[in-house]
Amino acid sequence: MAALIVVIVIVVLLAFGLWVSFNGLVRKRNRTQEAWSEIDVELKRRHDLIPNLVSTVQGYAAHESGTFEAVTEARANAVSAGATGDPSKIAPAENALSGALRSLFAVAENYPQLRAVESFLQLQETLTATEDKIEFARRYYNTSARDYNIALQTFPRNLIAGPFHFTAVAFFAADEADRAVPQVSFAGTDAAAAAAGPPSASASAGPPSAAAGEPEGPPPAVAAEGPTPTS
């Protein structure tokens, strides 16, 4: 009888442990999925901003067709990768898109007149804010994914992960350079003028003066001496 009670207690404890482990995995998986959904929303917003941004810059730099085509192609690839829902495929496509955007902003820097275009400034500000949100969501997602993946590999959760179809998730990795949105500076002309500095003293003081010891001009005329007239 005592042995039966021990067996029942062991079975109950195992069942309780499996129940707790299962619920823990469910919570971690849901948290990871929620974190990814935040990234997905911001990525779609980013994709929606790019066509208007390209169109605005293209109005001032129509001859930069290669850059615009590269951005458009990178955006299309990012949208296609986003449809898979696989972070391991989405991350490289988004990194390539970030690189293309850097080239686009580099082109914009050559056209200071864009600073007067309100729509461009608004697009730039919105895109910068979106990139910041993506970075924040990416860190939250990667932290959640790390905790979830670790839970899948630890006992006793690893005993139920396979039978209940809990699978590891990929991290959303991004290069440091690709995460930063290029900031457009229209102060190139002013900066160049400031770097040149004020005009030198030799340039503003007029023609150089004569060297020390040399006469400044012809010597003064000296009256000729002669005999003093007598009265």
Residue pLDDT, tens place only, 109-156 = 888 888 778 888 899 899 999 999 999 999 999 999 999 999 999 988
Which has more confidence, 115 or 96?
96
Q: Other CB atoms closer than 10 Å to residue 9's CB: what's the count? A: 10
pLDDT top residue among 169 and 203: 169
Evaluate whether the domain defined by 31-181 bears CATH number 3.40.50.720: no
Percent of the chain surpassing pLDDT 90: 48
Read off the pLDDT band of 191 (50, 70, 90).
very low
Give me the pLDDT at residue 177, please: 53
Residue 3 has a pLDDT of: 83
pLDDT band at 170 (very low <50, low <70, confident <90, very high): very high
Cβ neighbours for 181, distance < 8 A, ≥ 6 positions apart = 98, 101, 105, 127, 128, 131
Q: Please give the pLDDT value at position 189.
A: 38
* CA distances from residue 204 to 94, 207, 209, 211, 216 in whole angstroms, order as listed: 55, 9, 13, 18, 20
Please give the mean pLDDT across all residues of the chain. Answer: 79
Q: For residue 103, give the nearest of 26, 22, 45, 184 by alpha carbon.
A: 184
Q: What residue type is 158 in one-letter code?
A: N
What confidence tens digit (pLDDT) does each residue in 30-63 have? 999 999 999 999 999 999 999 999 999 988 888 8
3-state helix, strand, coil in the chain (%, to 5): 70, 0, 30
Per the CB < 8 A criterion, the answer to whether 149 and 168 are in contact is yes
> What per-residue confidence (pLDDT) applies to 176?
56
Report the pLDDT averaged over residues 63-90.
92
pLDDT at 192 over 60: no
* One-letter-per-residue 3-state SS of 146-185: HHHHHHHHCCCHHHHHCCCCCCCCCCCCCCHHHHCCCCCC
Instruction: Give the pTM.
Output: 0.70
| pLDDT reading at 28 higher than 70 | yes
The confidence band for 217, taking pLDDT boundaries of 50, 70 and 90, is very low
